[in-house]
C-alpha cells in the first residue's frame, strides 16, 4: 500500500496488491494412515474454533498427524489474517503468540500483509461491512457451494491510505476488538455464575418445600 501506482482514482487498492493470499492446507490429502512410519503432529484449527465474532477458542483445536513435515506457510503467525471461505466469511486476526503455530485447513484463506505494519489495518478493512458484502456477492457467483476463492479475495478493494493513517486506524481497531473480547468473556463468566447460583437456589427452595410436607 506504499506504492501509489497501485491506488486507483477512487483511492482504492486491490487486496492482492498489498497482501499475499493463499488457501489453507488440504488435510485429507496428507493425514497419517496410522501405519508404522514417521508422524508429524500439529494443532489443527477447525470451523468450531472460531465464533461469529472472529474470536478463536483454542480449547476446540484438534490434533492432526501428517506423514510428512508441512511448510510453515500453512501455520499461523502473528499478523496473519484468516478468512473463512464459506458463510459467514468470518475474518480472524492472529495477534497473540499462543495462537501461533496452528495448522490452517482449506476452510480458510490466509492473508499476509506485504508490509507488516499494515496487517492490523488490512484486518479492519476486511472486517468492514462493504468488504463482507463484496465477499458475499462474489461467492454468489460460484456454481456449486457459495464459497469465495483465492482469486476473488485478491480482487477485494480496500482504502489505499498512507502507512501513517493505516497505523492509526489499525491500532484503534485492535484496541476496540480486545475490549470487546474482554467484555464478551466477562459476560460469559457472569452468565455461568448466575446460572449456577439459580440452580443452587432452586435446589434449596425445593428442599424447603419438601420439608414443609
Let me know how long the chain is.
213
pLDDT digits (tens, 9 = 90+) for 80-103: 999 999 988 999 999 888 899 999
pTM of the entire structure?
A: 0.81
With 90 as the cut, is the pLDDT of residue 7 above it?
no
pLDDT digits (tens, 9 = 90+) for 69-81: 999 999 999 999 9
pLDDT digits (tens, 9 = 90+) for 106-129: 999 999 999 999 999 999 999 998
Amino acid at each position: 500500500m506504499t506504492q501509489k501506482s497501485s491506488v486507483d482514482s477512487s483511492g482504492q487498492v486491490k487486496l492482492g496488491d498489498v497482501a499475499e493470499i493463499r488457501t489453507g492446507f488440504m488435510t485429507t490429502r496428507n493425514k497419517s494412515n496410522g501405519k508404522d512410519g514417521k508422524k508429524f503432529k500439529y494443532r489443527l484449527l477447525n470451523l468450531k474454533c472460531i465464533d461469529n465474532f472472529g474470536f478463536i477458542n483454542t480449547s476446540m483445536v484438534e490434533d492432526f498427524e501428517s506423514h510428512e513435515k508441512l511448510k510453515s506457510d500453512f501455520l499461523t503467525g502473528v499478523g496473519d489474517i484468516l478468512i473463512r471461505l464459506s458463510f459467514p466469511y468470518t475474518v480472524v486476526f492472529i495477534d497473540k503468540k499462543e495462537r501461533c503455530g496452528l495448522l490452517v485447513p482449506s476452510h480458510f484463506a490466509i492473508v499476509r500483509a506485504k508490509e507488516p505494519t499494515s496487517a492490523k489495518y488490512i484486518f479492519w478493512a476486511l472486517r468492514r461491512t462493504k468488504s463482507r458484502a463484496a465477499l458475499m456477492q462474489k461467492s454468489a457467483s460460484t456454481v456449486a457451494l457459495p464459497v469465495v476463492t483465492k482469486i476473488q479475495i485478491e480482487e477485494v478493494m480496500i482504502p489505499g491510505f498512507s502507512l501513517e493513517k493505516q497505523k492509526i486506524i489499525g491500532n484503534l481497531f485492535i484496541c476496540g476488538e480486545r475490549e470487546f473480547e474482554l467484555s464478551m468473556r466477562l459476560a460469559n463468566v457472569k452468565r455461568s455464575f448466575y446460572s449456577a447460583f439459580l440452580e443452587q437456589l432452586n435446589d434449596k427452595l425445593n428442599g424447603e418445600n419438601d420439608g414443609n410436607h
